[in-house]
Amino acid sequence: MTVQTFIPSAVKAASENTVTQPTHTTDVSIKKLYIETQGCQMNEYDSHRMADLLGDSHGYVLTDNPNDADILLMNTCSIREKAQEKVFSGLGRWRKLKEQNPDLVIGVGGCVASQEGDNIQKRAPYVDMVFGPQTLHRLPQMLDQHQAQVEKPKKEKIKLVDISFPDIEKFDFLPEPRVEGFKAFVSIMEGCSKYCSFCVVPYTRGEEVSRPLDDVLAEIAGLAEKGVREISLLGQNVNGYRGETFEGEICTFPELLRLVAEIPGIGRLRYTTSHPLEFSDDLIQCYRDLPQMVSHLHLPVQSGSNDVLQAMKRNHTIDVYIDKIAKLRKVRPDMHLSSDFIIGFPGETDEHFAETLQFIKDLDFDHSYSFVYSKRPGTPASELPDDTPEQVKKDRLAQVQQVIKQSSIDKTDAMLGKIERVLIEKVSDKDPNVLVGTADNTRLVTFIGDATWVGRFAEIEITEIKTLNLVYGELLNLEPDVA
């Protein structure tokens, strides 16, 4: 049997539930892997690494059909209750597949695995392997262990559960990411030590650990050589990056950005997600000095009320946020800003909510994400009295989302006549003369051009607004390839 080269997909934008895209194969002798990814971009990144890992070690190829798979992996999210509920309903469906095919291997990873540990197997005994976000690199060994004990009687089998936090070891064991397309995520730190009172991340992913500087730079240089032009640096508190240098010194996030910008080929830099407290003056200077930095920033604030911010343990006031944005807009007047908001936090009054609504209007966000507060077991906020009726929270959310949507529409409309820097990503599926790219603010831009330009940056004048997320334009200037 010849094992096909494994090529993971271009990474999709984070959504609540995605399937890591397959390399199609019709060869039935090839072992197939199906991964369901829930939650954030970190999970998207981790799922791709899992696929790389099992592709390299055991020759698995991704499939988009769970009925067709030899292994099913669920990379789970526990940030809100709804996400967590999805896990057991999803596993219930997989149980039926296992009844039809007893050789099927089922693994559960990610933050629910981290939180629940062997409870997963108590509720779903047909799950063979449980691994956490920091132990996914041990998947090949776990799979071998599973296979070695398949024939053993049940009472002799050891439970395959590993949800420990072995520091940053994970990255040392992952194969070099394989590339498709011009954009890539690079995880630079794991975990979070901010302990916002509502958030489960420090407990599921552990405290902050940064990858060593040289590892990050080498990974990015390798990606650039393979044609990647846009890098998104990932971390739960990405601007808290403190990576060790070869000389044993500490490299901060702005210093890292400057070094990445020097790598030939990297024409655009994004990052997610940052905390306002560590949004330093030095980081603001990077926006002034580095043309590779996109004019788009996702800086979650969570609430427009100082009382609520304090109860959330965000450790800053609204004025601190406003000042930082004002400084940023001084060096980058065209900055597109987005944020996250939690609505209905315990103790949020009508007045607090009105402050949030006003804040969203004042700050002129490009788009934002908003969620009803979800009580997470083990977090300090879960102890707070919460007497706001669910319906009131839902009504508040609807109001916020209305304001957010209108400002997104206004921002897209405002692109008309402007010049946008676009990374040309592909030829349109519908018309071979039309190219498709993304602007700094993530809107899709289409224009007439030549297929050989794909992978380059261009200045495009926007001539028509098509939808909230799609605009048409005309080429003004094609940048030379940055490699």
CB 205 within 8 A of CB 190: yes
Q: How far apart are CA 97 and CA 178, in angstroms?
A: 30
Which one of ligand F3S, ligand SAH, none interacts with residue 202, CB within 5 to 8 A by kind? ligand F3S
Q: Which long-range contacts (CB under 8 A, 24 or more apart) does 327-330 make?
A: 327/281, 327/284, 328/284, 328/287, 328/297
Which one of ligand F3S, ligand SAH, none interacts with residue 287, CB within 5 to 8 A by kind? none
Residue 195 interacts with ligand F3S (CB under 6 A): yes or no: yes
Angle between helices 281-289 and 318-331 (to 10 degrees): 20
Q: How far apart are CA 318 and CA 220, in angstroms?
A: 35
Q: How far apart are CA 336 and CA 411, in angstroms?
A: 9
Q: How far apart are CA 457 and CA 432, in angstroms?
A: 19
Q: How far apart are CA 15 and CA 395, in angstroms?
A: 23
Q: Interface residues with ligand SAH (CB under 6 A)? A: 79-80, 192, 198-199, 201, 236-237, 273, 300, 302, 340, 342, 371, 373-374, 376
Selected from 30, 69, 188, 201, the binder of ligand F3S by CB under 6 A is 201
Q: Residue 192 region, left (φ>0) first, then alpha (ψ -120 to 50), else beta?
A: beta
Which one of ligand SAH, ligand F3S, none interacts with residue 79, CB within 5 to 8 A by kind? ligand SAH
Rg (CA), the chain: 23
For ligand SAH, give the closer residue by CB, 121 or 204: 204
Residue 237 interacts with ligand F3S (CB under 6 A): yes or no: yes
Residue 343 CB, nearest approach to ligand SAH (Å): 8
For ligand SAH, give the closer residue by CB, 295 or 374: 374
Residue 380 CB, nearest approach to ligand F3S (Å): 11
Residue 236 makes CB contacts below 8 A (sequence gap 6+) with 42, 189, 190, 191, 192, 201, 205, 208, 273
Selected from 38, 114, 210, 236, the binder of ligand F3S by CB under 6 A is 236
Residue 113 CB, nearest approach to ligand F3S (Å): 17
Task: Draw the binding track, 249-278, toward ligand F3S (x: CB under 6 A; -: no contact).
Answer: --------------------------x---
Residue 11 CB, nearest approach to ligand F3S (Å): 20
CB 84 within 8 A of CB 112: yes
Residue 339 interacts with ligand F3S (CB under 6 A): yes or no: no
For ligand SAH, give the closer residue by CB, 266 or 381: 381
> Residue numbers of the site for ligand F3S (CB under 6 A)?
192, 194-196, 199, 201-202, 236-237, 275
